[in-house]
Structure 1
């Protein structure tokens, strides 16, 4: 066991502040990583403030599941990594490896999943601590290779926002010639646009904000629709193969279901706090479907990183020192960031 610097919160109302936490010594299958950058996800804010009743927060909490760093040490049985390699860690750090989900490559659905933070730590007791820290020790199976050509600050959010959007795009067969909609242009939406564009799709962004049009086109959208304009919406009726809905606020899902072509699908990756009202005829007329998705398995996450390396895709980030994390949380509530925060963990050394 060894100690590292970190930032933690001690209650739902306490700010994140400097702390010291313990990390486990390496087992034969472990990889030790010096954390260079850690993205800020909206779920970090929800967890720190104990806003998810189904997943109560255990304090102190060290958030962070968008981790990019450099390998400093490996266990004796590790074969995929060596000291000096670039590596990433996403939302999960262990699963049972034996359930049907794990065997199928869907570790994210394992009933015995260990999340990167605020999850039962079977090695040290208590809960797991995340990436707002100097270093982390993770089982080799859950460590990812980072393409060396990508800028590391923008790679960090790929470990959550990237895979959250890539997985449904791949699952629903987005390829060249498909017409794809992206609802919302935030942290998830901007990644959906970049990835769908790189897959060769015709990409249409739906937004309530006319001032986002220029940015949407810059990110790779072919068209931008102001969703409050019924005439603009009607022009696209019955024409989409797939729509990725990234909005976490209340909205009319039927307006988007009616834009789907026969056998088209909408996948929710945003999580509105109240149930969405779905009319049966929005689904029946055209054999349309509505589904949800969270992240992806380890193999698919590696596939996503390799795809991003091939197409030179990273998240648009604002890099901040750890000392500004509480300010970043307040700005996140106001959607005052384009499009993700990435913490330069070198700033932790001055604490």
Structure 2
């Protein structure tokens, strides 16, 4: 605090009492309170006791509301770290998170192998509940999305192919596109928003309620008791949902094609069956499995990193959905490169 300027108090003896004569005071405002506070600070600095008893009652109450000392100036902000330091710090954090997720994946795989022998410590009730939530409960939304996507793809394809009198090839277009790419991606996006967000919200809520801490104190591994049923159920159900979604998407394209084409239903279905090779389904099936594993691992990790407040639950759910969707699209691009290299 800056030193007070020279005034009459610097000659006062420490311990004396300072009082103000306010008998002739009639009208006053907040400027008077500010003056009194300055006088009180100067008296404290000189070692003189300030006595407010002679002040008007309202002035005493207002003066009592003010802090005893002036507020300290805000600390000077630190200069931002150099650019390379910030990049290095973010890189190390990214590598650390990658290693943590890899350890979670390894523990899940180990727990899945132990589950085959019944020694994983996972409750079958939890697995059955997660299987239901990640599978049959999602059939409606997955079916609606894939049906509409297949219908839209058939509609756009018919408009373009009709220019070349190649309407019948819309069956190949819808079948191959849905089996190889679209159904796997759309199903994964739906599950990232539906199941991935639910996983993150559930785990972050348990973290806020100190249930995770209770499990750790009791010696119950969180990876087996909570993470394993969630990751295993989504990894098992997603490929099956992909097959279901592909069939529904092809049916959506069939419905649109039958309303806009002059061909027969048998001809359309025959073209579809002959145009889709088995390896297209295998490729999409494998992608769906990896998509599911990534979504579940990312959601569980986000939930475990969340804070303990109610707001952090929503933040964790939103972050899990965003990471899941972006990660699925990035993984699909990687699979496309691999398929191109391997000529699949």
Same fold (TM over 0.5): no
The two structures have a TM-score, normalised by structure 2, of 0.21
Larger radius of gyration: 2
Kindly indicate whether structure 1 or structure 2 has the higher relative contact order, using CA contacts under 8 Å at least 6 residues apart.
2
The two structures have a TM-score, normalised by structure 1, of 0.20
Q: Which has the higher strand share?
A: 1
